[in-house]
Amino acid sequence: MESVFLSGLRLKTLTFIVITVCSLPVTNSFICAYMDRNSSLPQIFDDLPAMFGFSLPLDGLRGYLVGAEPANACTPIQPPPVMDNKTIFFALIQRFDCNFDIKVLHAQQAGFQAAIVHNVNSEKLLNMMWNDEKIRKNVKIPSVFVGESSGKELLSHYSYYDNAIVFMVPEYNFSLGYYLIPFIVVVALVIIVMCIVMVVRCLQHRKRMRRNRLSKEQLKKLPIHKFKKGDEYDVCAICLEEYEEGDKLRVLPCSHAYHCMCVDPWLTKTKKSCPVCKHRVLRSEDDSDSESGGVEPGDGDNVEENDNERTPLLRPSPSFGSMADSPTAIQNEAEVEPPRAVSV
């Protein structure tokens, strides 16, 4: 039971760790920029998503990049070159001079579908935070933060006027939580059910074995006989050694006798029945199933009168006189006697 408790504790600890790790927010993404009519490989830029506004869609966001005017977007900026619902534009905004939430809100009000804020005199990536709760609630578009070199590279080579396409992709790692947690729950349930079944079967087995064995109190009720020369017992059927003067014999109700040291382990650890004739030594009310060759209670005659093929092994053989006078011998003699001649 202690091992089952320890395994359950370890399983709970593992489940807690998995849930904690899988519930951490995903904070990485990247920008993929490439020329529309150029076969060169696309260029990848690292970024960090903002802590406000909408998140990038799972399949990413594809559009054209336009530099904001003014560059810091602390005041309302110019709208994108084309205003329609089919073309997506990203606003490239310079850091400083005002808060991040104001910059992204101005880009949203101008008609841009996303905003890219680049650092100034630094390549460090920051998690953009909001300053005003009302502005945060009004910001609906996604936004990311890139380093200074990334911002300059995007504006100089991958803008809308260079016929380049920018692809903003979220780095959603494979979420093990959706698959690992249900698997752990199922495994835990299976282990719990198996432990319950094993404990129940163990208890049933112990109860069954205890019912089929003699207790020490019951063993003391069986008589012990000290062997003397001339007794009706001669050989122990377990160790196959002849009895010697003073040997302690355990006499069972079926009249079979054995060395105490031979039969006591059998009765207390294996079966509470005679090793030879299989007759029950003691019967109780909960003995539902009988052993093969045993005598059920209420079968009529006593065990000594119900002679079996295996019972007379250690019993004293009857005298010749008693066999001659028995009803079976008289009947056999009558059958063998030849018929007498009848006189006419």
**In the chain, where does the domain assigned CATH 3.30.40.10 lie?**
214-295
Average pLDDT over residues 238-249: 84
Query: What was the pLDDT predicted at 77?
Result: 94
CB atoms within 10 A of CB 113: 18
Q: Tell me the one-letter amino acid at 254.
A: C
Closest CA to 162 of 270, 76, 260, 43: 43
Fold of 214-295: Herpes Virus-1 (3.30.40)
Cα distance between residue 9 and residue 302, in whole Å? 59
**In the chain, where does the domain assigned CATH 3.50.30.30 lie?**
26-170
Phi, psi for 276 (deg, rounded to 5): -95, -60
pLDDT digits (tens, 9 = 90+) for 299-340: 434 434 344 434 444 444 343 333 344 444 444 444 444 445
Instruction: Decide: helix, strand or coil at residue 244.
Output: coil
Beta-strand pair 29-35/61-67: unpaired
pLDDT digits (tens, 9 = 90+) for 222-233: 888 888 887 787
Single pTM value for the model:
0.45
CATH of domain 26-170: 3.50.30.30
- Cα-Cα-Cα-Cα torsion 222, 225, 230, 234, nearest 10 degrees, comes to 60
Beta-strand pair 61-67/164-170: antiparallel
Instruction: Decide: helix, strand or coil at residue 185.
Output: helix
- Please classify residue 267 by burial: count the beta carbons closer than 10 Å to its beta carbon, then call 0-12 exposed, 13-18 middle and 19+ buried: buried
Check pLDDT > 90 for residue 26.
Answer: no
Buried b (16+ CB within 10 A) or exposed e, 115-135: bbbbbeeeeebbebebeeeeb
Query: What was the pLDDT predicted at 178?
Result: 66
Confidence of residue 120 (pLDDT cuts 50, 70, 90): very high
Query: What was the pLDDT predicted at 176?
Result: 62
Q: Check the CA dihedral 84-32-124-121 and report its sign.
A: negative
Average pLDDT over residues 273-299: 58
The helix (run of H) or strand (run of E) holding residue 65 is strand 61-67
Strand order across the beta sheet in which 257-259 lies = 224-226, 248-251, 257-259
Instruction: Decide: helix, strand or coil at residue 289.
Output: coil
Strand runs labelled E in 171-272: 224-226, 248-251, 257-259
Check pLDDT > 90 for residue 18.
Answer: no
Query: What was the pLDDT predicted at 292?
Result: 42
Q: What is the token pair recorded at 9?
A: 């504790």
Query: What was the pLDDT predicted at 228?
Result: 82
Do 104 and 130 contact (CB within 8 A), yes or no? no
Beta-strand pair 143-146/114-118: parallel
Instruction: Decide: helix, strand or coil at residue 228.
Output: coil
Helical pair 2-22 and 177-211, crossing angle rounded to 10 deg: 170
Do 168 and 90 contact (CB within 8 A), yes or no? yes
CB atoms within 10 A of CB 100: 26
Closest CA to 162 of 32, 44, 41, 64: 64
Check pLDDT > 60 for residue 253.
Answer: yes
Q: What is the mean pLDDT of the chain?
A: 75
Do 116 and 90 contact (CB within 8 A), yes or no? yes
Residues pairing with 49 in the sheet: 144
Q: Give the lowest-confidence range in 16-25, 173-182, 279-288.
A: 16-25
In the chain, the N- to C-terminal Cα span, in Å, equals: 95
